[in-house]
C-alpha cells in the first residue's frame, strides 16, 4: 500500500493541481457532451493514459489526471467521482455508470497522524459498475464483473462475479460464454 506523509505535496504538485483546476473549470466541465475527444486530449496533456474511443462525460470529477489510465472503448458517465490519489486503471469496454465513486485515497486511522494512504485501484475489462456504487481504496475488480447499483465494494471482486449490497457480496456468476473474451479473461 502506497503511503505518504505530509511531505507528499511538493511545489510542483501544487502547480499541476492548479493547472488542472483551471483547465477543468474552463475547458473540461463546460464542454459539450459529445466532445469526448476534446476532454480526452486535455487529460492526456496532463499525463492521463486514455485509450481509443473512450467516452468521459463532462461532469466527471477527476482528482489527478496523471494517476489515471483508461483502456479502449470504456465509458465514464455523468457525475462519476474518480478520487485518484493512488493510481486508478480501468480496462477495455468497461462502463462506470452515473454517480459512482472510485476512491483511491484513505487515511491510516491506526496512527495519531492519520497518515495519507494512496492504494491503487484496478478495474478490469468488460466490467459494469452500476449507478451510485462505491469502490474503496486498494480494490481489484477482475474482468467481466458487475457491481450492482449502490453497492459498497471493500473487498476484491473475482472474474465474472455479480456483487451487490453494503458491504458488497457475491450474488451470482455471469455466464461468459457469449462475451468477447479478447478484452479480458
pLDDT score of 180: 67
Nearest to 53 by CA among 83, 79, 74: 74
State how far the Cα of 66 lies from the Cα of 87, in Å rounded to an integer. Answer: 8
Contact 168, 158 (CB under 8 A): no
Q: 78 CB contacts (<8 Å, ≥6 apart)?
A: 57, 59, 60, 98, 99
Number of residues in the chain: 185
pLDDT score of 4: 53
* Superfamily of chain region 8-174: Hexapeptide repeat proteins (2.160.10.10)
pLDDT score of 177: 87
Q: What are the strands, taking DSSP E only, across the chain? A: 3-4, 49-50, 55-56, 61-62, 68-70, 75-76, 81-83, 88-90, 95-96, 101-103, 106-107, 116-117, 121-123, 128-129, 134-135, 140-141, 146-147, 152-153, 161-164, 169-173
State how far the Cα of 123 lies from the Cα of 171, in Å rounded to an integer. Answer: 19
Nearest to 146 by CA among 131, 160, 165: 160
State how far the Cα of 166 lies from the Cα of 181, in Å rounded to an integer. Answer: 30
State how far the Cα of 133 lies from the Cα of 77, in Å rounded to an integer. Answer: 12
Q: Per-residue pLDDT tens, the chain, 185 aa: give them.
A: 455 544 467 888 899 999 999 999 999 999 999 999 999 999 999 999 999 999 999 999 999 999 999 999 999 999 999 999 999 999 999 999 999 999 999 999 999 988 899 999 999 999 999 999 999 999 999 999 999 999 999 999 999 999 999 999 999 999 998 876 655 54
DSSP code for 40 = H
Question: Is the backbone of residue 176 left (phi > 0), alpha (psi -120 to 50) or beta?
Answer: alpha
The pTM of this model reads: 0.92
- The full set of domain ranges for the chain reads 8-174
Amino acid at each position: 500500500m502506497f503511503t505518504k506523509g505530509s511531505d507528499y505535496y511538493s511545489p510542483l504538485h501544487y502547480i499541476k493541481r492548479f493547472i488542472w483546476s483551471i483547465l477543468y473549470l474552463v475547458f473540461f466541465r463546460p464542454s459539450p457532451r459529445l466532445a469526448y475527444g476534446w476532454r480526452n486530449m486535455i487529460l492526456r496533456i496532463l499525463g492521463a493514459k486514455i485509450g481509443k474511443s473512450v467516452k468521459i462525460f463532462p461532469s466527471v470529477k477527476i482528482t489527478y489526471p496523471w494517476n489515471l489510465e483508461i483502456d479502449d472503448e470504456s465509458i465514464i458517465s455523468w457525475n462519476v467521482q474518480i478520487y485518484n490519489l493512488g493510481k486508478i486503471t480501468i480496462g477495455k469496454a468497461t462502463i462506470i455508470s452515473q454517480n459512482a465513486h472510485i476512491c483511491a485515497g484513505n487515511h491510516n486511522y491506526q496512527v495519531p497522524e492519520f497518515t495519507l494512504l494512496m492504494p491503487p485501484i484496478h478495474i478490469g475489462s468488460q466490467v459494469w459498475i452500476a449507478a451510485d456504487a462505491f469502490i474503496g481504496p486498494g480494490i481489484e475488480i477482475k474482468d467481466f464483473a458487475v457491481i450492482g447499483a449502490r453497492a459498497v465494494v471493500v473487498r476484491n471482486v473475482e472474474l465474472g462475479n455479480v456483487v451487490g449490497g453494503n458491504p458488497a457480496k457475491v450474488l451470482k456468476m455471469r455466464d461468459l460464454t457469449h462475451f468477447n473474451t479478447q478484452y479480458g479473461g
